[in-house]
């Protein structure tokens, strides 16, 4: 039997009116629990869904929990990671010792998850050299987040794909459909769209519509085992004593 870990992991998801979002988040959390049976994992949402992050933290404090790792279920460090989540954590009960973990990306494990989804959608490793890939993310007004997506695309290209182009569902350009057309113009024999998003919702649906001219559309990352592994890596990193805590 696994020994319980001292710190509770609180996964902080954005939330959505689309019920597929919460269902996917819960599926991912179940996989995290399966990979680390001794770890208590709770889920809180910033908006639209329950329980709220504040509600989860108050419940943990009432139980006598002392140590919490708050993990943003985000792929890039943009507004939510830099502003919204720290603000919520500052309002947590003072008895809690909270460490905010880093966002999930970038990570080679996430790139592996992207490839998993492309292969599940019908591609094979033998298709790489003749296939152009659109790395389609939700988009952001944060230059740091946009630069990270562009760098992931550049690095992924070096693993054997014909070409890889970033695209964004909102806030930034190009759009998915523009990147699909660009890859066609480059002469890629096939074009695939890889959504760099964690769960279904409004923006992933926009990505899917933009992929109408592509040959392959992969699923969202969702509860891929590689994503669960990244969550646990970020949890372990946040528990290192060199990182400062929020609260007493």
pLDDT at 81: 81
Residues 210 and 173: their CA atoms lie apart, in Å, by 13
Residues 177 and 169: their CA atoms lie apart, in Å, by 10
Q: Per-residue confidence of the chain (248 residues) as pLDDT tens digits?
A: 455 678 999 999 999 999 999 999 999 999 999 999 999 999 999 999 999 999 999 999 999 999 999 999 999 997 778 889 999 999 999 999 999 999 999 999 999 999 999 999 999 999 999 999 999 999 999 999 999 999 999 999 999 999 999 999 999 999 999 999 999 999 999 999 999 999 999 999 999 999 999 999 999 999 999 999 999 999 999 998 644 445 44
pLDDT at 248: 41
Cβ-based neighbours of 100, under 8 Å, separated by 6 or more:
69, 70, 71, 72, 85, 86, 89, 238, 246
Note whether 231 and 104 are within 8 A (CB): yes
pLDDT at 240: 85
Residue 86 CA to its chain's centroid (Å): 18
Give the number of other CB atoms < 10 A from CB of residue 27. 13
DSSP 213: G
CA-atom Rg of the chain in angstroms: 19
pLDDT at 242: 45
Where are the alpha helices (H) located in 121-220, listed in sequence order?
143-157, 176-186, 202-210
pLDDT at 3: 58
Cβ-based neighbours of 228, under 8 Å, separated by 6 or more:
28, 31, 32, 34, 35
pLDDT at 80: 73
pLDDT at 82: 86
Which residue has 């990182």 as its token pair? 243
Residues 175 and 212: their CA atoms lie apart, in Å, by 12
* pTM of the full structure: 0.93
Q: HEC profile for 47-88?
A: CCCCCEHHHHHHHHHHHCCCEEEEEECCCCCCHHHHHHHHHH
């Amino acid at each position: 039997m696994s020994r319980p870990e001292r710190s509770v992991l609180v996964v902080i998801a954005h939330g959505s009116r689309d019920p597929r979002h919460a269902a996917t988040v819960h599926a991912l959390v179940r996989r995290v629990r399966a990979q680390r049976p001794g770890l208590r994992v709770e889920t809180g949402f910033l908006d639209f869904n329950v329980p709220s992050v504040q509600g989860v933290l108050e419940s943990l404090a009432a139980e006598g929990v002392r140590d919490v790792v708050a993990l943003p279920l985000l792929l890039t460090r943009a507004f939510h990671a830099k502003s919204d989540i720290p603000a919520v954590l500052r309002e947590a009960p003072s008895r809690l010792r909270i460490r905010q973990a880093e966002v999930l990306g970038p990570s080679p494990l996430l790139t592996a998850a992207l490839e998993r989804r492309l292969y599940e959608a019908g591609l094979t490793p033998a298709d790489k050299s003749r296939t152009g890939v659109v790395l389609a993310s939700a988009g952001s007004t944060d230059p740091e987040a946009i630069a990270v997506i562009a760098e992931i695309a550049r690095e992924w290209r070096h693993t054997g794909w014909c070409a890889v182009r970033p695209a964004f569902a909102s806030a930034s350009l190009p759009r998915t459909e523009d990147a699909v057309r660009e890859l066609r113009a480059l002469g890629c024999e096939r074009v695939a769209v890889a959504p760099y998003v964690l769960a279904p919702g409004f923006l992933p649906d926009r990505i899917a519509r933009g992929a109408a001219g592509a040959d392959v559309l992969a699923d969202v990352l969702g509860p891929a085992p590689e994503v669960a592994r990244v969550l646990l890596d970020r949890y372990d990193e946040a528990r290192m004593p060199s990182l400062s805590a929020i609260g007493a």
